Structure 1
Amino acid sequence: MSDQVSFGYEDVAPEEKTARVGGVFSNVASKYDIMNDAMSGGMHRLWKDQFVRRVKPQPGEAILDMAGGTGDIAFRMSAKGAEVVVADINQDMLDVGIERAMERGIDGLTWSCQNAEELSYPDRHFDAYTIVFGIRNVTHIDRALKEAHRVLKYGGRFFCMEFSTTQWAGFKEAYDLYSHQLMPRIGKAIADDEDSYRYLAESIRRFPKPPVFEGMIRDAGFERTKVEEILGGAVAIHSGWKI
């Protein structure tokens, strides 16, 4: 079992997870942003604003937004003058992002199909690396973190926002009920895809708790790591520096 990885509550071969996650996001791409609003009550917009404030994108900086698919984070950082590469392993998600950028008249973004575990960019290429609600879907998270460290310049910063499990008493039980019972039903109603949203709920439960994930970030070579928890840890902003 040591060569298996998690796909929701299942343990599967790495190549099977990669293929199945690809299928999930191809299925939900066209409804992804509507579902984000429905599932979070619109709060994901506030979380993303907060995340970008922590990143502090600067004019002319080269930033890689990994798993950036539909462009939500990239649009915000580009508005600050950063030169953003939107990367995603799923071309369907990128196509949605490109269409959204065209509708909004947002120019200057670069869109690239990339595997987070094997980036095509040279060493020390970017000033910052961001990944939002994406790293838990990566097959080998440790490899993705090492690649993030590799492509960053010295002095570069890593920022990741990911779901986890809240520790707030009372809210924890309600959140578990919502994730396992209501989220798949909302997925069925809006995106006609119950199974994909069941996987997404399960993947949150299998993702390492914030202190464990912070340790993984340090193991990849990052220093001055930090965790900022939101809603008792239901969402966490992780950061680290390449020094």
Structure 2
Amino acid sequence: MNDTVSFGYTDVAPAEKTRQVGAVFSSVAARYDLMNDAMSGGLHRLWKDRFVRRVKPRAGEYILDMAGGTGDIAFRLAASGAQVTVADINPDMLAVGIDRAAKRGIDGLVWSEANAEALTFPDASFDAYTIAFGIRNVTHIQQALGEAQRVLKRGGRFFCLEFSTTQWPGFAEVYDAYSHRLVPKLGKLLANDEDSYRYLIESIRRFPDMPAFEAMIAKAGFVRTHAEPVLGGLVAIHSGWKI
């Protein structure tokens, strides 16, 4: 593995990235919806609805929602009758999700503190694996993709929702200016946390583009890989199948 990995625009030791990302999400956990609203102008709610429609969860299926601590995706998946395990490396994010589920009267979810790079679930445990706005924060992304492939059953499906790079002329420049200049300031104003929001924007810029990330998914052993751009690629829904 490389000696360094990216933490925003800075290259750091892998253990240091894991620590710093943990600190970021512990800091923003209680304001997670506010964070996503600031970064997407509220559009993340529509993107998540679209994402779950692509997953097509079914009653009785076992689905692992990785990096899903606050429950945003899991609540949508569980509405289908699927058996959802919510996994997150950050206990503060899980605590927010458990509290939100209790307030909404949503039960039946399994909550698990887990590292995407070293899952403790047995081989071939799940029918589907989902991860939304979490993969870019993983220290070793290829290792996490391999773990996703391992815990899926044959015929299982992988779905990832993540920020990417929009190709729309003009819009890319506008969003770049908005994200770099305004989002950190909103973080300071709304959550008194400019640095965490700055990292989250920088992490988007360092994440592989759609073709490169699709190649990583294929390298992990998935077939029929696909990247569906949203807003010209500002966000992408990546998918693949295990055979």
Range of TM-score over shorter length: over 0.9
1:154 is matched with 154
> Partners of 2:150 and 2:2 in 1: how far apart?
26
Matches within 5 A, 1:218-229: 218-229=218-229
Instruction: Report deviation, 1:42.
Output: 1.8
1:81 is matched with 81
> Partners of 2:40 and 2:20 in 1: how far apart?
24
> Partners of 1:204 and 1:87 in 2: how far apart?
22
> Partners of 2:189 and 2:48 in 1: how far apart?
25
Preserved contact between residue 60 and residue 82 of structure 1 (Cα < 8 Å): yes
Superposition RMSD in Å = 0.9
2:53 is matched with 53
2:15 is matched with 15
What is the DSSP-based 3-state SS (H/G/I as helix, E as strand, rest coil) of the residue aligned with 1:123?
Answer: coil
Instruction: Report deviation, 1:234.
Output: 0.5
| Runs of 4+ more than 6 Å apart | none
Q: Does 1:113 align with 2:113?
A: yes
What is the DSSP-based 3-state SS (H/G/I as helix, E as strand, rest coil) of the residue aligned with 1:108?
Answer: coil
What is the DSSP-based 3-state SS (H/G/I as helix, E as strand, rest coil) of the residue aligned with 2:224?
Answer: strand
Preserved contact between residue 39 and residue 186 of structure 1 (Cα < 8 Å): no
How many residue pairs end up in the alignment? 243
Deviations 1:53-78 (A, max 9, x none): 00000001000000001000000000
Task: Name the TM-score, length of structure 2 as normaliser.
Answer: 0.99
Deviations 1:111-134 (A, max 9, x none): 000000000000000000000000
Task: Name the TM-score, length of structure 1 as normaliser.
Answer: 0.99
What is the DSSP-based 3-state SS (H/G/I as helix, E as strand, rest coil) of the residue aligned with 2:225?
Answer: strand
Unaligned runs of 5+ in 1: none
Q: Does 1:68 align with 2:30?
A: no
> Partners of 1:206 and 1:11 in 2: how far apart?
11
Instruction: Report deviation, 1:37.
Output: 2.1
Query: Which amino acid letter does the alignment assign opposite residue 202 of structure 1?
Result: E
Instruction: Report deviation, 1:179.
Output: 1.2
> Partners of 2:57 and 2:221 in 1: how far apart?
22
Deviations 1:76-102 (A, max 9, x none): 000010000000000000000000000
Preserved contact between residue 38 and residue 183 of structure 2 (Cα < 8 Å): no
Query: Which amino acid letter does the alignment assign opposite residue 201 of structure 1?
Result: I
> Partners of 1:15 and 1:193 in 2: how far apart?
23
Deviations 1:174-211 (A, max 9, x none): 11101111110111111110000000000000000000
Instruction: Report deviation, 1:40.
Output: 1.9
Query: Which amino acid letter does the alignment assign opposite residue 154 of structure 2?
Result: Y
Query: Which amino acid letter does the alignment assign opposite residue 111 of structure 2?
Result: W
Preserved contact between residue 64 and residue 87 of structure 2 (Cα < 8 Å): yes
Calculate percent identity across the aligned residue pairs: 73
Instruction: Report deviation, 1:2.
Output: 3.6
Instruction: Report deviation, 1:38.
Output: 3.1
> Partners of 2:6 and 2:36 in 1: how far apart?
23
2:193 is matched with 193
> Partners of 2:124 and 2:39 in 1: how far apart?
37
Q: Does 1:144 align with 2:177?
A: no
